[in-house]
Amino acid sequence: MNSPLIGCWKLVSYELRSSTGRVVRPFGDAPVGRLMYDAHGRMIGQCLDPRREKFARSNPTRGTALEIRAAFNGCVGYFGTYTLDKQARTVTHHVKGSLFPNWIGSDQARHYEIRGRRLVLRTPPIKTSKREVVGVLVWEREE
């Protein structure tokens, strides 16, 4: 596959932008994440809120309901395959596994733009309880 996305990308910013111009950074000002695309059409992506609190116990299966909820809400992760439409400037992630079970088997389309060493991915509008938002994730190519 000949793709300008092939490689490893480090997350620089993650924002939710509303049509009114409001910007929310759900994982703070310094989110952590990696996105990888390979030449065989496989991808994996993960974004984390570095402010997540540690569990009181060291066993990950012994977290309280609040600890588990906070850990889940502070993380987005999935893997699968991808297809690229260079003309439309879209990449579609075909999700095979995900932290959010509802995404398994789904296609997650993103508009992409490459600016030098940066990759900008934009989600289609997402309806929340109060408004529509677009997720904008900026990634920087790693060597």
Predicted confidence (pLDDT) at residue 85 exceeds the cutoff of 90: yes
Global pTM reads: 0.92
Predicted confidence (pLDDT) at residue 6 exceeds the cutoff of 80: yes
Burial class (CB in 10 A: 0-12, 13-18, 19+), 120: middle
Residue of higher predicted confidence among 61 and 10: 10
Q: How far apart are CA 31 and CA 45, in angstroms?
A: 13
Percent of residues, the chain, with pLDDT higher than 70: 100
Where are the extended beta strands (E) located within the chain? 7-18, 23-24, 32-37, 42-48, 75-85, 90-98, 107-115, 118-122, 126-127, 132-141
Q: Where are the domains of the chain?
A: 7-141
CATH numeric code, 7-141: 2.40.128.280
- With contact defined as beta carbons under 8 Å apart, do 74 and 27 qualify? yes
